[in-house]
């Protein structure tokens, strides 16, 4: 049986993708542009923009002159390749051999596949309907050789399906560009008035080689099937997915644990082989009544330690209800990351300690929630509430030093609380204050330390802080909010010194 190839051509790949993401753009002209020699140059235009005469490789300023309402988006480097790869992976449902054909196409080797769809016609219709359903403007052709399929896909006007061994007839009326030639060769052909493949295909091969080089002949032979052409199919990454069917429904906690242990062992073995660790994992149990129960865990750092992962799941096993029993268990790892062999140290500890602490935090986070874990780093603000910042990363080191020159209380109230004071003016500390109904006579005091609001963050009154000590030895951090000049300022207590 002869080989059959399908060539797919996405004429507006990146713009179609953008419309898929932002449907409001569908009827507005927009382009992707990237800087090139100091100018912004259009790299892709959508259909609406092309209708107004805007094409790729035009300068954005010129386009704006044609169409002032044109929307210009920054080109995302490598996006086209990424999309093609993803679509090629998707195409694996149509054929096992799918290759990316840069810059805007996909080549499928469909030998032996179309009969499953009842013929080449329904096959192609199904493929195109699905892709067009996603919103991609796509053309396709099917032929005996990759070259012929490509040519008909890009330049064919009659029909997309070229019967076996008919590629020569199909190629004859097409322009020489359909042979995937270099620009110089095409220019030479154009100059000589050879506008169709038919006008030079019967010339002596020697003459063609002398004038246009080997490439033309090679491409011609490839398109006609006289020379083999190798396509490089993509190798999709096998999803991290382990299954464990059960002979009989599993109903006990022990049974579930054994299943989980087995699945984790196979999963972790694969992760070890590939030098990876999982960040998120889902354990699913399929009940015989059709219900699916699942447990999700996450880790702070990539892990492939069976014991640790088992412990994370174990805490949540009581949360699933087996009812009549599970017949199938599946373990998935949707988020997988590389494990760096030489890891950065965490607070000068050895790597072993580092891992142990991460695992402890995973357990705590899994039980009481990740939002409960805090670590603080200094932040360069005088305002007490902003003088530190929360970090979630365990490896993050302080960017600046902690301040040691200003007295700060060890015990701070979540909100400053209002107090009643007796205070001599203008700038003396209070003589006594009443907080929660208790009277404190102040014996010693330090201050004031004025802290202004950071006007670029919030407005408001400044604070004059005093540290004071009462007759019982309690040490407090009080402040006056604002000046005396603007009425009676309020006094607050903000913390307790040790």
Binding residues (CB under 8 A) for other proteins: these are 346-349, 352-353, 356-357, 360-361, 363-364, 367-368, 372-378, 384, 387-388, 391, 397-398, 402-414, 443-446, 467-469, 471-475, 495-498
* Pairing outcome for strands 71-74 and 292-303: unpaired
Closer Cβ to other proteins, 152 or 468, answer by number: 468
Q: Please report where in the chains the tokens 């080109």 appear, as a residue.
A: 75
Which residues 6+ apart lie within 8 Å of 50 measured at CB? none
| Cα–Cα distances in angstroms (integers) from residue 49 to residues 18, 308, 369, 457, 480, in the given order | 14, 55, 49, 43, 63
Nearer to other proteins, 326 or 465 (CB): 465
Q: Closer to other proteins at the Cβ: 387 or 481?
A: 387
ω into 448 cis (within 30 of 0): yes
Give the CB-side neighbour count of residue 493, counting CA atoms within 13 A.
Answer: 21
CB nearer other proteins, residue 318 or residue 473: 473
Residue positions counted in the chain: 498
- The smaller minimum CB distance to other proteins, of residues 409 and 489, is found at 409
Residue pair 42/55 in contact by the 8 Å Cβ criterion: yes
Contact 285, 294 (CB under 8 A): yes
Q: In angstroms, what is the minimal distance from the CB of 279 to other proteins?
A: 20
Nearer to other proteins, 337 or 469 (CB): 469
39 vs 386, which CB is nearer to other proteins? Answer: 386
Who contacts 115 (Cβ-Cβ below 8 Å, separation ≥6)? none
List the structure tokens of 339.
């494990």
Comparison of 56 and 373: residue with beta carbon closer to other proteins: 373
Q: Give the nearest distance from C-beta 465 to other proteins in angstroms.
A: 12
Closest contact distance (angstroms) between CB of 88 and other proteins is 45
Q: In the bound complex, what is the minimum distance in angstroms from residue 234's beta carbon to other proteins?
A: 44
Distance of closest approach, residue 477 Cβ to other proteins, in angstroms = 9
Residue 40: name the closest of 16, 22, 19, 58 by CA.
58
Give which of 264, 378, 250, 220 is closest to 323, Cα–Cα: 250
Residues 6+ apart with CB under 8 A from 43: 14, 31, 32, 33, 34, 56, 57, 75
Count CB-CB contacts under 10 A for residue 425: 6
In the complex, what is the shortest distance from the CB of residue 351 to other proteins, in angstroms, rounded to a whole number?
A: 11
Q: How far is residue 423 CA from its own chain's centroid?
A: 59
Nearer to other proteins, 4 or 440 (CB): 440
Nearest approach, Cβ of residue 267 and other proteins (Å): 25
Which CB atom, from 255 or from 378, has the smaller least distance to other proteins? 378
The four Cα atoms 177, 178, 179, 183 give a dihedral, to 10 degrees, of 20
Residue 219: HSE in the Cβ half-sphere, 13 Å Cα cutoff: 22
Residue number with CB closer to other proteins (109 or 359): 359
Supply the minimum distance, in Å, between the C-beta of residue 466 and other proteins: 9
The answer to whether the CB of 128 falls within 8 A of the CB of 6 is no
CB of 414 to other proteins, least distance (A): 8
3-state secondary structure of 11: coil
Q: Which is nearest to 218 in space by CA: 99, 226, 164?
A: 226
Nearest distance in Å: CB 481, other proteins: 19
User: Is the CB of residue 295 less than 8 Å from the CB of residue 316?
Assistant: yes
**Least separation in angstroms between CB 13 and other proteins:** 47
């Amino acid at each position: 049986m002869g080989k059959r190839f399908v060539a797919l051509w996405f004429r507006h790949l990146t713009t179609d993708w953008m419309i898929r993401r932002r449907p409001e753009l569908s009827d507005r002209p927009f382009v992707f542009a990237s800087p090139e020699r100091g100018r912004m140059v259009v790299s892709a235009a959508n259909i609406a923009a092309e209708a107004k005469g805007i094409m790729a490789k035009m300068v954005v300023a010129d386009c704006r002159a044609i169409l002032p309402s044109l929307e210009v988006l920054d080109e995302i480097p490598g996006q086209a390749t990424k999309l093609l790869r993803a679509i090629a992976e998707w195409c694996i449902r149509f054929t096992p051999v799918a290759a990316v054909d840069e810059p805007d196409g996909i080549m499928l080797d469909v030998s032996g596949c179309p009969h499953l769809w009842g013929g080449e016609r329904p096959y192609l219709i199904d493929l195109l309907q699905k892709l067009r359903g996603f919103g991609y403007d796509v053309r396709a052709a099917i032929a005996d050789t990759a070259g012929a399929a490509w040519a008909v896909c890009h330049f064919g006007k009659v029909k997309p399906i070229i019967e076996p061994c008919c590629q020569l007839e199909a190629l004859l009326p097409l322009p020489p560009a359909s042979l995937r030639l270099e620009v110089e060769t095409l220019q030479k052909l154009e100059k000589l008035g050879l506008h169709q493949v038919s006008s030079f295909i019967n010339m002596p091969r020697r003459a063609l080689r002398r004038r246009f080089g080997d490439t033309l002949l090679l491409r011609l032979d490839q398109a006609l099937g006289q020379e083999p052409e190798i396509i490089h199919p993509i190798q999709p990454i096998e999803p991290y997915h382990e299954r464990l069917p059960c002979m009989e429904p599993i109903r006990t906690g022990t049974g579930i644990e054994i299943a989980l242990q087995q699945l984790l062992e196979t999963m972790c073995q694969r992760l070890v082989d590939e030098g990876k660790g999982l960040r998120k994992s889902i354990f699913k149990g399929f009940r015989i009544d059709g219900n699916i129960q699942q447990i999700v865990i996450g880790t702070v750092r990539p892990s492939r330690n069976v014991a640790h992962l088992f412990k994370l799941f174990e805490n949540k096993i009581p949360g699933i209800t087996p009812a009549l029993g599970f017949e199938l268990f599946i373990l998935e790892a949707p988020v997988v990351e590389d494990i760096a062999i030489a890891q950065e140290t965490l607070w000068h500890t050895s790597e072993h300690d580092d891992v142990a602490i991460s695992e402890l935090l995973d357990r705590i986070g899994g039980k009481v929630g990740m939002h409960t874990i805090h670590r603080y780093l200094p932040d360069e603000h005088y305002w007490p509430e902003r003088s530190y910042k929360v970090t979630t990363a365990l490896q993050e080191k302080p960017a600046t030093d902690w301040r040691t020159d200003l007295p700060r209380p060890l015990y701070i109230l979540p909100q400053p609380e209002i107090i009643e004071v007796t205070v001599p003016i203008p700038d003396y500390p209070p003589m006594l204050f009443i907080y929660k109904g208790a009277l404190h006579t102040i014996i010693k005091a330090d201050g004031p330390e004025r802290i202004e609001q950071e006007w670029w963050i919030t407005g408001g009154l400044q604070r004059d802080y005093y540290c004071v000590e009462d007759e019982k030895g309690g040490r407090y951090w009080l402040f006056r909010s604002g000046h005396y000049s603007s009425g009676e300022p309020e006094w607050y207590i903000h913390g307790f010194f040790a």
